[in-house]
Amino acid sequence: MENVLRPIYQERASHPNTLGILMVEKKKEVSPVTDNFDVILLVIVSKANQPWFVKHYQFEQKTAAMHIVEEGHLNYWIDTGSYHRSVEWIMTGKVLFDRNEYVAELKSKLEDFPVEKRQLKMTIEFAKLTRNYSEAKDLFSSGHYLDAYSKVLSSLHSLGRLSIIDKGYHPEVVVWSQIRRIDSEIYKLYEELISSNEDIAKRVELMIIAIEFSLSSRAKQSAVHLLDVMRTSQESWSYGDLTVHPSIQFYALDLSTMLDYLIDKDLISVELVDTKGKKIFHREYKINE
């Protein structure tokens, strides 16, 4: 297969802005890692007209997809976990071209998974978890049990990814197989949710209790990225100031529910600041050290 594709990737390798090229081959009939293509070519470039561009090919009854990705955009995917496939492509892909050992260094950085990047990923996942958990509780209390079930399942996914990141690994596309190896307790919760003989309402109710326990025990550690940002100022923070802070952009959409949860756990306190309106106050936020 590599020989057939060589004219395509060699043309890309000749470009001075190409940093590296990797190839990932489909290993089974249904392959989420390759989007069911027979082969993926990942071309990493320093600059491009578009941050991410994809071309599809067909040859000898096989299919291929070439992803041309700017270095900055790829780093965004890696740092935020917004495209899990990219990490697997880099970690497992065969290196076809490597300018100045760029790909080798990138693989090494992913294996090391520095603490600061781990903390950011954990807080992004924690923010998603607090939102899904909050919505699951609301849907359950309103009697929408199937919708609550869906949110509970999403909460367990985030909980599992949190555990994986905490142990120094990047979440994979096939995440539950990974969770089974790394955190058997969370995997058991997942099995109970999908396999229990209890009715849906009871299953959801029990999972909400279990997720709350795990959330509470992980809150401070999982929110450390946000807490560290807030420590950079001695003053309390307005919600607006937090949402526009460059380091918080990655989880700004879920910030409100995360703040609410951290206030409930007494990790953050609310300070009321006078406005021009009588008995109307601004809410500002400060860490409880």
- Percentage of residues in the chain having pLDDT higher than 70: 100
Domain chopping of the chain, boundaries: 2-112, 115-287
Which pTM does this prediction carry?
Answer: 0.86
SS3 at position 98: strand
Ordered mean pLDDT values, 10 residues apiece, the chain (289 residues)? 79 92 89 90 94 92 94 93 90 94 94 91 96 96 96 95 92 87 93 93 96 94 96 94 94 96 96 85 91
SS3 at position 54: strand
pLDDT value, residue 250 = 93
Distance of CA 13 to the CA centre of its chain: 30
pLDDT value, residue 277 = 77
CATH 3.30.460.10 fits domain 2-112: yes
Distance of CA 50 to the CA centre of its chain: 23
Which of the four CATH numbers 1.20.1440.230, 1.20.120.330, 3.50.50.60, 3.90.550.10 does domain 115-287 have?
1.20.120.330
pLDDT value, residue 1 = 67
**Strand 237-238 with 281-287, pairing:** antiparallel
End-to-end CA distance of the chain: 58
Distance CA 106, CA 75 (A): 10
C-alpha closest to that of 248 among 202, 240, 102:
240
